[in-house]
Structure formats: C-alpha cells, structure tokens
Structure 1
Amino acid sequence: MASEDVLKGASTLASYNVLLQVMFRVLTFVLNAFTLRYVSKELIGVVNVRLMLLYSTLVFLSREAFRRACLSCEGAGRNWRQVINLLWLAFPLGCLWGVLLVCVWWWMLQAPDPDTIPYYFPAVGLFCLAALTELLAEPLWVLAHVHMFVRLKVIAESLAMIAKCLITVVMVVSAPQWGLYIFSAAQCVYAGFLLLCYVLYFVHFLGSEEAESKLFPFRHIKDMLPSRVDHEPLLNWKLTTLTWSFFKQSFLKQILTEGERYVMTFLNVLNFGDQGVYDIINNLGSMVARFLFLPIEESFYVFFAKVLERGRSARYQKQEDVSMAAEVLECLLKLVLLIGLIIAVFGYAYSHLALDIYGGELLSSGSGPTLLQFYSCYVLLLAINGVTECFAFAAMSKEEVDRYNLVMLGLSASFLLLSYWLTWMLGGVGFILANCCNMALRITHSVMYIHRYFLQSEYRPLRGLRPHSAVIVVLGMSYALTAFSERMFCCDSGWLPRLVHVAVGAVCLLGVVITVFLTETKHVQFIRTQLLPRYSKKRT
C-alpha cells in the first residue's frame, strides 16, 4: 500500500472507531444510570471492578501481544498461513490464563456476602467463558483490521453491544433477584454476537468477486484454521519472538492500565460500595478518552507501523514516509492536547453538576465531585500518552521493546506501591494521583524516544505539544469565569441558576473553539480532511 492509502485507511478506521466508541459510551452511560435505580452500588462494584477485571485481564494478556506483532509484520515477510497459525495460539493461551485466573478469583480473593450479592462463583466461570469466546474471533479480527474492513468492526461490535444492553435492561427490570447472573448472561451474549458476526461476514466474503479483486489471501473459511504448508515452518520465528517481546510488555502494561482495580481487588483498600462509586466516576471521567483517544491510538498505530520500518531512525527511512509520519504525529499531538486542556479546564467547574444530573445525591455528595475534578486533569495526560506511545511502539525495534519492558517493570512496581500508599491516605483520589504520576513518567520516556528518533532529520513533530498562546489565555479566562459561576449559581439553588451556569460554560467553550479555529489552522485542516468521515469521503 502507498503511504497515502495507508493514511486514508487509518483515518477512516479512526473515524469509524470514534463513532463506534461514542455509541458504546453513550449506551454504557445510559445503562449505568438506569441500573443505578434498580441494583445496589455494591453489586455494581463487584461487576464493574471484580468481574470485568477478570474479563479484561484474560482477554488482554491472551491477545494483545499477537495483535501488536501481527499488525506490524510487513518487515518480517508476511506469510499469512504462518500469521494465522500464530494468532490461533491466543486461544490455548487464554485457556491457560482462564484456569489460573478463575482459581485466583474463586479461592484467593474475598468473596462478597452471598446474601446481598449471590451467585458470585458461577459468575466468575461465566465471565471466563465469555472471554474465551471472544478470543475465538481473534484471527478474523486481525485479518479484518489489516485489510481495513472498518464497517465489519462497527457492525459487529454495535450489534454485540446493543444485544448486551437489551439483555441487561430486560433482566434487571424483570428479575433483579438473579443478581450476578444478569450481567454474566449479558457478557456471554456480547462475546457470542461478536464471534458470530465475524464468522458470518467471512463466510459470505470469502470466494466472492470482491475478495478476488482485493487479492485476499484465503478462499474458504476452513483456510483460516491452523494448518501446515509443505516445506514451510509452522510459525515465523522472527514474528514469534516479536510476539514474545510484546507479551512481556503487555503483562506490565495491563498492570499499569488496570492498576487501581488490582489494588482495589487484591488489597481491599475500598469496600464494594466505594468501588462501585469510584468505577462509575472513573467511567464517566474517562468517557472522552475511551471513545476518542483510544480509537485514534489504535488506528494510527496501524498507520505508523505500516509507513515506518521498525527499528530504523528517521534518517534511514524513505523521506516522504518520514515527512508524512511527522506531520501526522504533530497534528495528532496538537489535537489530543487541545481536547485534554478543554476537559481539564471545564471539568473543574462542571463535575458536581454532571454527577448530580447523572446519579443524583448518590454520586454528587461526598468525594464524587472531587474525584471527577482530578480525573479531568488525568485525562489530559492520558491523551498525550496514548499518541506518544502509539508512535513509539510502532517504531521501536525488538531490542528497544525489550529494554522498555524493564522500564515498564519499574513503573508497575512503583505504581502499585504509590497507589496503595496514596489510597490509604486520600481514598479514591489517591488512585488518580498515582495514575497521573505514572502517566507523566511514561510520557517523558516516549517524548525522549520521539526526540531522538527525529533528531537527525528536519522534522520536529513534538511542536504539537505547544499550544498557541492565545488559546492558553482564553482557556485561563474560561477557567476563572466557570469557577466563579459554579460558586455563584451551582448546584443547590434550583434549575434556573444551573441553566445560567451551563450558559456561562457554553459561551466560554464557544470562545475557546473560535480561538482554536483562528490560530490552529493547520491542525484544523488535518482534522477536517483526515478524521471526519464526510470530509474524508469528499477528499477521495
């Protein structure tokens, strides 16, 4: 593929992923608000922290390394038969992780009170089964991602999420006494729908004229099962060792990503009720990060991995590819920086109001607003880290990935210790502060790598981390005005003062957006032509 085609595909994939994640987060947002009225916060804590931690740990550790290696295996001399054989190893690896994790969740962790939260042990087994079901779709997911079948992912995950929400709503209303069985069944339905959609699509696609015109490497669905070709090794050794390097890294990255849940689960620093409140605020605070930053990171990792040759500095790459990669990286950094700054500024004054509208006094009283205010600042670091690590992981050599694993090991250990200490002192806020410290260290490492990478070239993509001075001034004024508005009008004086507070924020936000459009013209043009689907279509 030409670099322009790869950029176009990555941009389209990012756009669809953003729309998909928006839908997911909206559905989850509404679902959480709905279930808060029917189930206890203790039950929500067990599901969203304990059981979803089991699910995410099993899936992430089983497939993340295979995804990162196989999505950037052009330089290894791609042999799709060997790639498929390697990808199928994710399922037996998931079975091994499943046995180990289920034993830990059954016998090493404190079980909730069966009178208030029944069916805990069957729920653990069902969540494990759902994770293994999703792993069966992994070879198909990688094939679809590499060949830019963006609509497939949107349709499959949309149908799966809708089915999960419908099952949850119906069972919560009709049979709330089933407790954890409700959420276990919904998770199994989600994984089953996901697998079914991928299988049906490829059954229909393979052998079609479209598949032949695109020179798709397989003709029948059975070709996607593991098999050996005569006179060829079963696996590509170079790709296998790269997978092993990413596997060691994924273990550490999972600890950093889900560190607060591990601390809550294994060290019992918060009870199930407090875990439920923290998780709801965590989901609310990270909504933008999940539906916007994560799809951008995933999609443009594919772009950087395809355009740049892994392990070679910018000086020894094709200069037209380096130029495009540097321009894209700079624009992405500026985009996520501006979004993160806006969230941090406006999150301070509107956290209390948002929680009061969303969950009532259950969330807006106590430490809830403070948690969300701190999380708004954390989102800024989360945004920058996603893009910088996205580039670094796509460009690093295997040896550099191995060295970074040692850095991640140190960060993981320090994060767990810092989380425990700060949470013991400050409660839920301690988790967020520990995350901020670790994210800042990860950003520093990635920024240093990017600086070295482009040091001997004329490109300086890190300029994307310097916003225009006019934008900083307008953001500072907005912070002062909205903070004053919150103190004067929010949030216990009825709806009219609240509307005034919202109007002040809307005017300030409009001023920020206009300033960005007038001062950041280059990056606005990038967003219009590469990230918004309608403009991308016009460009083609």
Structure 2
Amino acid sequence: MPGLLRALSYNFLAQLFGRILSFAINIYLLRVIDSNVIGIVNVRLMLMYNTILFIVREPMRKANILPGSLTQFVNIVWLSPVIASVMAVFSVALWTLLSSTTKELPLTVLFAFPLAAIIESFGEPFAVYSLTFSMNAHYAWSQCLLISLQRVFVIILLFGTALEPLYIYAYAQVMASSAYTLFHLARFWLRRPEELKNFQDFRSFFPRPELGLRPESLTALKTMMGHSVLKQMLTDGSGYVMTFTDVLSLKNQAVYDAIEKLGSLVCRLALAPLEENCAAYFRNGLQSYNARHLRRIFLDILHVAAIFGMVVTFFGVPYSKLAVSIYGGKLLTENGGIALLCIYCFYICLMAINGITECFAMVIMNDGQVATHGGFLSILAIVQFLLSWRRAKEYFNDRISICHVWPSFSTWVGLICAFLIMGLSFLFFGRDDGLTHALTHVCIGGVLLLIVTFSTVQNEPILQRMVYEPTAASYYYDD
C-alpha cells in the first residue's frame, strides 16, 4: 500500500503540472483558432490517434503477460509498434473511406496523427517496464512531458511560423510523440535504476526474436485486445458517430470536445493515474499478497474513489457555468456547454467506482471470463460494474460488501449541505457576469471544499490512515 500511495503521488503531481499547462494553453487556443479546425483536429484526427494507441496500450499494460522468462516478456511488449502499424493502416483507410471531412484534408495532416501514434508505440515498451517494475517517477514525468509538449509545440509553431493551423497541430503532434519516445530511450540508456536489476544491459530492453513468445501471454494479450476494442467503441462511441456522420457541425463538435476535456480534467488528473497504478499493483500483488490483504486494499481504494467522485459531482455542478465561461468563453456558453458539463459531473462518480472494479476484475479473470466481460461493455457501463464486482466477490468468497465503498453518514451530510449552500451561492452570485460575483462564488466554494475535506479526513478511518500514517502497512498484512 505505501508503494501504491507513492506511485499515486508521483502521478498526481506530474499530471497536475501537465494538465494545468495544457489547460491554460487550450484556453488561449479556443479563442484564436477557428472552431472548425478545432473540431477536425480534436475530434476526428485525435480520435484516430487515440484509437490506435488505446488498442496498443490497454492490453500491454493490463494483460497478465509477465509470467515466464524476462526475455519472452520483452519480446511480447515489443509487439507494440507492430500492432500500432497495423492499426494505423486500418484506421487511415477507414477514416478516408467513411469520413467526409477527412477526404478534404491534406495528406500530410491526415498521415501525421497515425505516424505520431506509431512513433509513440516505440516508447510503449519502456512505459510498460516503468509500470511493471515500479519506476513510478519516470513513468509519471514521461506522461507529463507528452501532455505538455502536445500543446507547447502548437504555441511555438503558432507564433514562430506562418503555417496554417491544421499543419501546426499535425507537426506538433509528431514532434511531441518523438520527444516522448526519445525521453524514454535517453532515460534507460543513461541510467539503469535498482528496479531494473534483472536487465543485464541496455540491449536486454530490446527483443530477441530467436527466443519466441510465451503462448499463454500471447493468448492473454489477444483476449485483452478484443476486450479493448469493445471498450474503446463504448468509451468514444460519440466520437465515432461525429466522425463518420454529419449529425453535428464541426463547430458543435469543437464544443463537445472542449466540454469533454474540461469535464474529464479531474479524471485525467486523478482517476486515470489511479487506474493505471492499481492495475499494475493488483497484477503484482495477486502473486505476492494473501487474499485478506488484497481485499482490504481493494475496498479501501474503492471507498476513496467513491468519495472523490462524489466530491467532484457535488462541487462541479454549481461551478459549471463559471468553468465553462473561463475555459471557452462564448463559444461554449452559447452552445449548450453548461448543461453538458453538469451532466458530465454526475457521470464522473460512476467512472470513479467502475474504473477500480474493472482493474481488479481484469487481473483475476481468465481469458474466457475476460471475453464474456467484454461483451457486456457493448450493453451498458453499469452492467460492467456489476460483473466486475461479482468477480471480485467470487475471489474473496463473498466477504466484501458494497456498503464498505460508500462514504460515512457524516460525509454524506457534509456534501449535501455544501451542495445546497453552493446552489444558493450560484443563484445569488454565479448567474451574473462580473469579476466580483465570480470571485465571491469561487471563495464560497473554496471555503466549503476545505471544510468538507477536513471533515471527511476526520470522519473516514481509511483516509486517516492514508494521511496520518501513510507508511504504516501492518493493517494490510495482519491475518
């Protein structure tokens, strides 16, 4: 547990720095770049880039591919560039044939995004090494570098060249992916930390084809890849609809993407790092710890995730209007952005709980159960949570209860009271434009957040252990 908390602290700090920088640059870009260009890049082209990388990353980071020899593990993670290249060819063909907007794009712009994904896939094996062997700081700051440079290069090219915005985004994407991959190579070349003592030299980080692949690991990878395809279709389903149909204009797509980025800022800051580190922790812990230890950690993390999701929901709704106004100005406020962000705030709570249960379920399920689990993804996310919870209960012999996940009564009362006060604050101060009203509304929310945070830590035993005794691990090991 202390190792997991240390990994989360690295990830949170790195994500916080990268996301705030990216957030600030996006505020400027939304005001100076044409909304049609933003719609094309952030929805259609970035969807292709994200699809390729998700199908590569998700199986490599979550499938149980470590058992066996270290060389066979290295061989299988270096399938990443191969998978990315195949997915890139398929995606370009699909986007060219089915997306009307893509046909009108310059080939340089169209090919830049899958090329960036392929370049980035050469850094994926090093990201997997970092997660698997607890190189938490390196992994966290490499992700921060990628997030930051994707927008920093846009600003540099915007002010330093006379290129059109589409070309600026395309070149910036390739440059950021190249820098990310070179950062991994340089780090592993210059210094090999204690966590990687099983690797003899720099050459051992690369594949040796003559030793082949472990069949069981390859089967687990293929099963997880099929699951990842279904998950990606469910997660970014709206993006595919917007890309391959003309349901929304490019301007409305830009609005949707901006709200999605704003609403998911908290998810990317805290929930995504939490899921990635928990997946690696559960995978390693399944072989190292007893069931009681895992059960306590699983339930405690779920409890914290539920509290976190509810705090975001209760505090997010009253401040949706202010956040949308600051982030996107009239482009978002005049196109339904406020209502969209309010809905997204409620969705975050479910995402927080569902993500952790899925991480644990992916570790304990066999290939057949993973395939069955993936089928449910196409029906409803709630069914996914129920199935993941069922697998966890089976593993722990029904000795876990959903009641352990929910916050205490005092936390519920504090959140509801804060929500009501913030609702009144919104009615008096948040609905009117003006710096004084906005600052008053923010100050009220800030004070309430501090009160709720202090009260929650004092009334939640799990949080007390994490805050006041972060290195005390005896609780999780006692039988």
Alignment counterpart, residue 495 of structure 1, candidates 435, 443, 460: 435
Q: Aligned partners of 1:106 and 1:91: how far apart in 2?
A: 22
Q: Does the CA-based 8 Å contact 1:329-1:461 persist in structure 2?
A: no
Q: Which runs of 5+ in 2 are unaligned?
A: 474-479
Q: Aligned partners of 2:321 and 2:454: how far apart in 1?
A: 27
Query: 2:457 maps to what in 1?
Result: 517
Query: 2:365 maps to what in 1?
Result: 396
Q: Does the CA-based 8 Å contact 1:168-1:183 persist in structure 2?
A: yes
Q: 1:357 Cα shift?
A: 2.1
Q: 1:402 Cα shift?
A: 2.2
Q: 1:298 Cα shift?
A: 0.7
Alignment counterpart, residue 354 of structure 2, candidates 369, 374, 385: 385
Aligned residues with identical type, % of pairs: 29
Query: 1:291 maps to what in 2?
Result: 269
1:121 maps to a residue whose letter is L
Alignment counterpart, residue 411 of structure 2, candidates 447, 463, 471: 471
State whether structure 2 residue 395 is matched by structure 1 residue 453. yes
Query: 2:3 maps to what in 1?
Result: 9
Q: Does the CA-based 8 Å contact 1:42-1:272 persist in structure 2?
A: yes
2:436 maps to a residue whose letter is L
| Deviation digits for residues 468-491 of structure 1 (CA, Å, limit 9, x no counterpart) | 112212222222221122112223
Q: Aligned partners of 1:228 and 1:352: how far apart in 2?
A: 56
Q: 1:450 Cα shift?
A: 2.2
State whether structure 2 residue 95 is matched by structure 1 residue 105. yes
Q: Does the CA-based 8 Å contact 1:289-1:379 persist in structure 2?
A: yes
Query: 2:476 maps to what in 1?
Result: none
| Deviation digits for residues 235-283 of structure 1 (CA, Å, limit 9, x no counterpart) | 1111111111111111111112211111111233211110101111111
Q: Aligned partners of 1:388 and 1:346: how far apart in 2?
A: 24
Query: 1:242 maps to what in 2?
Result: 220
1:491–1:133 distance in 2 versus 1, CA, 3 Å: same
1:449–1:157 distance in 2 versus 1, CA, 3 Å: closer
Q: 1:172 Cα shift?
A: 2.1
Q: 1:293 Cα shift?
A: 0.7
Q: Does the CA-based 8 Å contact 1:11-1:300 persist in structure 2?
A: no
1:530–1:101 distance in 2 versus 1, CA, 3 Å: farther
Q: Aligned partners of 2:334 and 2:15: how far apart in 1?
A: 29
Query: 1:414 maps to what in 2?
Result: none
Query: 1:441 maps to what in 2?
Result: 383
Alignment counterpart, residue 279 of structure 1, candidates 257, 264, 288: 257
2:202 maps to a residue whose letter is I
State whether structure 2 residue 80 is matched by structure 1 residue 90. yes
Which aligned pairs between 1:71-470 and structure 2 lie closer than 5 A?
A: 72-74=64-66, 76=67, 78-111=68-101, 119-175=105-161, 177-206=163-192, 216-228=197-209, 234-309=212-287, 321-408=290-377, 410-411=378-379, 438-456=380-398, 459-460=399-400, 462-470=402-410
SS in 1 for 2:247: coil
Q: Aligned partners of 1:223 and 1:513: how far apart in 2?
A: 47
| Deviation digits for residues 123-165 of structure 1 (CA, Å, limit 9, x no counterpart) | 1201111110011122222222222122222343334444333
Q: Aligned partners of 1:377 and 1:180: how far apart in 2?
A: 34
1:442 maps to a residue whose letter is Q
Q: Aligned partners of 1:18 and 1:515: how far apart in 2?
A: 22
Which aligned pairs between 1:43-82 and structure 2 lie closer than 5 A?
A: 43-69=37-63, 72-74=64-66, 76=67, 78-82=68-72
1:443 maps to a residue whose letter is F
Query: 1:313 maps to what in 2?
Result: none
1:497 maps to a residue whose letter is H
Q: Does the CA-based 8 Å contact 1:18-1:295 persist in structure 2?
A: yes
Q: Does the CA-based 8 Å contact 1:46-1:272 persist in structure 2?
A: yes
Q: Aligned partners of 1:40 and 1:86: how far apart in 2?
A: 43
1:471–1:441 distance in 2 versus 1, CA, 3 Å: same
SS in 1 for 2:100: coil
1:407–1:160 distance in 2 versus 1, CA, 3 Å: closer
Q: 1:341 Cα shift?
A: 1.0
Q: Does the CA-based 8 Å contact 1:50-1:261 persist in structure 2?
A: yes
1:304 maps to a residue whose letter is F
2:234 maps to a residue whose letter is L
1:215–1:380 distance in 2 versus 1, CA, 3 Å: closer
Query: 1:426 maps to what in 2?
Result: none
| Deviation digits for residues 477-515 of structure 1 (CA, Å, limit 9, x no counterpart) | 222221122112223252223333223323332332232
1:490–1:168 distance in 2 versus 1, CA, 3 Å: same
Q: 1:177 Cα shift?
A: 4.9
Q: Aligned partners of 1:439 and 1:215: how far apart in 2?
A: 38
Point out the more displaced range, 105-114 or 179-188.
105-114
Q: Aligned partners of 2:33 and 2:163: how far apart in 1?
A: 9
Q: 1:113 Cα shift?
A: 9.3
TM-score normalised to structure 2 length:
0.92
SS in 2 for 1:235: coil
1:475–1:128 distance in 2 versus 1, CA, 3 Å: same
Query: 1:415 maps to what in 2?
Result: none
Aligned CA RMSD, in angstroms, stands at: 2.3
Q: Does the CA-based 8 Å contact 2:65-2:220 persist in structure 1?
A: no
Q: Does the CA-based 8 Å contact 2:22-2:148 persist in structure 1?
A: no
| Deviation digits for residues 176-212 of structure 1 (CA, Å, limit 9, x no counterpart) | 6512111111111111111111111222235xxx55x
SS in 1 for 2:134: coil
Q: Does the CA-based 8 Å contact 1:106-1:121 persist in structure 2?
A: no
Q: 1:351 Cα shift?
A: 0.6
Query: 1:505 maps to what in 2?
Result: 445
Query: 2:22 maps to what in 1?
Result: 28
Aligned residues: 473
Q: Which runs of 5+ in 1 are unaligned?
A: 1-6, 310-317, 412-437
SS in 1 for 2:447: helix
Query: 1:315 maps to what in 2?
Result: none
Q: 1:391 Cα shift?
A: 1.1
1:530–1:55 distance in 2 versus 1, CA, 3 Å: farther
